[in-house]
Chain A
Amino acid sequence: GNSVTQMEGPVTLSEEAFLTINCTYTATGYPSLFWYVQYPGEGLQLLLKATKADDKGSNKGFEATYRKETTSFHLEKGSVQVSDSAVYFCALSDLGTPLVFGKGTRLSVIA
Chain B
Amino acid sequence: DAEITQSPRHKITETGRQVTLACHQTWNHNNMFWYRQDLGHGLRLIHYSYGVQDTNKGEVSDGYSVSRSNTEDLPLTLESAASSQTSVYFCASSPGQGTNYGYTFGSGTRLTVV
Residues of A near any B CB (own CB < 8 A): 31-32, 34, 41-46, 49, 51, 89, 93-96, 98-104
> What are 23 contact pairs spanning A and B, CB under 8 A?
A32-B99, A34-B102, A42-B107, A42-B108, A43-B106, A43-B107, A43-B108, A44-B43, A44-B92, A46-B102, A49-B102, A51-B100, A93-B99, A93-B101, A96-B97, A98-B33, A98-B45, A98-B58, A101-B42, A101-B44, A103-B40, A103-B41, A104-B42
Hey, which chain A residues are within 8 Å of B42, CB to CB? 89, 101-104
Residues of B near any A CB (own CB < 8 A): 33, 35, 40-45, 48, 58, 90, 92, 97-108
Hey, which chain B residues are within 8 Å of A43, CB to CB? 90, 92, 105-108
Which among A32, A44, A95, A103 is the interface contact of B100 at CB below 8 angstroms?
A: A32
Query: Is A44 a contact partner of B90 (Cβ separation < 8 A)?
Result: yes
Give bound CA distance, A45 to B107, whole Å: 10
Query: Is A44 a contact partner of B105 (Cβ separation < 8 A)?
Result: yes
